[in-house]
Structure 1
Amino acid sequence: MTSETISAEHELRNVLDQWANAIAEHRPADVAALFTDDALFQGFDPAPGTGRGYISSYYAKQPIGLRAEYELLSTRAIATDALVGYARVLFERPDGDVAVYLTVIARRGHTGWALSHYHVSKI
């Protein structure tokens, strides 16, 4: 593993750990704060949405007790200020677990790393 790969994985894990913790604590605004203002977000709703307002609303309607356990399968830098990651995620829900693959792009801005693209697909 190169130092670039290790750094990309470390940075992405930092963001995804915060994401998983905010989901588990049902803090939708904190989840949304991990995204860029113009983030493209494709969760389980029929159509994608953009921006922190959409993302906060999406997570606000999720059930209390939701947890996200992820396994980062692949990461790499795609530019000096952008990372792509691919993960397997198990969303543990009170009404039954949902396994997905997750693709994210994180961008580094003046305040640190934030997710600019999020796409899940059911396994």
Structure 2
Amino acid sequence: MSHVVEEVLALWKDAFDRHQPDRMADVFTSDALFQGFGPSVVTGREAVRSYYRTVADGRRAEFTVLHSYTIGADAVGGFADVTFSGASKPEVKVHMSLVLLHGAEGWKIRQYHVSRVSAQD
């Protein structure tokens, strides 16, 4: 199932790199749980869209899928290392965990969480 995680993250990365918040939101389920760098967990595509609107144009993401696993016939989990860079801002490395669901719209991110990797890790 790692190919599913790779495919969804490739869509996410392309929309992120092009600074397209509407496309970013479309990678998520309508009821997605999302924990980015902000202090709160938010829910739904509109919240995801709003979050990505605040990301500076010119930021880029590179990812490496570390692990994926099957939860059920229509659910997959995964972990990735991601590095955000560009737009005259410091590079930020994070660990990302995901849960993907397969439905009428194809594979979508249902749960997304990132945590910063400190220099001491």
The answer to whether the 8 A contact 1:91-1:99 is kept is yes
| Higher share in helix | 1
- TM-score normalised to structure 2 length: 0.94
Match of 1:49 among 42, 54, 65: 42
* Partner residue in 2 for 1:107: 101
- Aligned runs of 1:90-101 on 2, under 5 Å? 90-94=83-87, 95-101=89-95
Which residue, 7, 16, 25 being the options, matches 1:32? 25
TM-score normalised by L of structure 1: 0.92
Gaps of 5+ in 1: 1-7
Residue 26 of structure 1 aligns to a residue whose secondary structure is coil
**What root-mean-square deviation, in Å, do the aligned CA atoms of Structure 1 and Structure 2 show?**
0.7
Question: How many percent identity over aligned positions?
Answer: 39
Match for residue 87 of structure 1 among 64, 76, 80: 80
* Contact 1:63/1:93 (8 A) holds in 2: no
Q: Distance in 1 between matches of 2:12 and 2:78?
A: 14
- For 1:17, what is the secondary structure of its paired residue? helix
Q: Deviations over 1:48-90 (max 9, x none)?
A: 1000000001001100111110010000111110000000000
* Alpha-carbon offset, residue 93 of structure 1: 3.5
Count, aligned residues? 116
Shift >3 Å, 4+ stretches: none
Unaligned runs of 5+ in 2: none
**Partner in structure 2 of residue 5 of structure 1:** none
The residue type paired with residue 116 of structure 1 is R
Distance 1:101 1:51 in 2: 21
Equivalence map 1:1-16=2 (5 Å): 8-16=1-9
1:96 Cα deviation after fit:
0.8
- Residue aligning to 1:120: 114
